[in-house]
């Protein structure tokens, strides 16, 4: 349960103002078909984050040395700093659904590719390394992505004008920092 809840909270907050959330808003305003966009985001995230959590889990299983555990903790601290850097997406770039692919396939492919190397994917790798349950991490990070992106798809422009993105980015950064420091304190024996 800890893996699920931690993954959900971290990714939901980290996704605020992230380029994939901006992509969700862009897709919603361009295509105006929320159901296939939401389903495309869901399936792209499940695939991407399952692979990321699996990589993190595999690396953690192979590298059980203390230095690796410190590296995972440090990666959460680094994610805190990275979260404070707002993402941008080129809204003027033309975006059209390929004639045979449709809105769902366009969203699926675009979202999967844009998520590659994104801070939420890197966070999923770190969460996969931190927790033993790849499925709970995948479910949590996917839920976090959906919590952040479904309102972006449904309410797009109105949401962007009302939600203080900077405050959400700072909150996400504090969560990443807290988790990283907690892991380091645990490694040093200061907890428990």
Predicted local confidence at residue 94, as pLDDT: 45
Is the pLDDT assigned to residue 138 strictly greater than 90? yes
Q: What is the pTM of this model?
A: 0.68
Mean pLDDT of 116-130: 85
Closest CA to 147 of 5, 8, 23, 45: 8
Cα(139)–Cα(36) distance, integer angstroms: 20
Predicted local confidence at residue 18, as pLDDT: 75
Average pLDDT, the chain: 79
Is the pLDDT assigned to residue 192 strictly greater than 80? no
């Amino acid at each position: 349960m800890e893996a699920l809840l931690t993954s959900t909270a971290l990714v939901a907050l980290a996704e605020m103002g992230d380029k994939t959330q901006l992509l969700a808003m862009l897709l919603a305003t361009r295509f105006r078909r929320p159901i296939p966009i939401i389903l495309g985001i869901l399936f792209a995230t499940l695939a991407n984050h399952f692979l990321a959590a699996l990589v993190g889990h595999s690396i953690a299983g192979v590298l059980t040395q203390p230095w690796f555990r410190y590296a995972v903790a440090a990666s959460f601290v680094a994610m805190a700093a990275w979260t404070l850097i707002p993402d941008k997406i080129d809204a003027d770039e033309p975006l059209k659904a390929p004639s045979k692919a449709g809105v769902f396939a366009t969203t699926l492919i675009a979202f999967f590719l844009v998520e590659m190397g994104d801070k939420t994917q890197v966070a999923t790798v770190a969460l996969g390394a931190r927790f033993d349950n790849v499925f709970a991490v995948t479910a949590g990070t996917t839920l976090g992505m959906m919590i952040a992106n479904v309102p972006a798809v449904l309410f797009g422009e109105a949401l962007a004008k009302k939600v203080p993105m900077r405050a959400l980015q700072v909150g996400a950064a504090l969560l990443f920092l807290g988790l990283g420091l907690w892991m380091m304190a645990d490694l040093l024996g200061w907890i428990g």
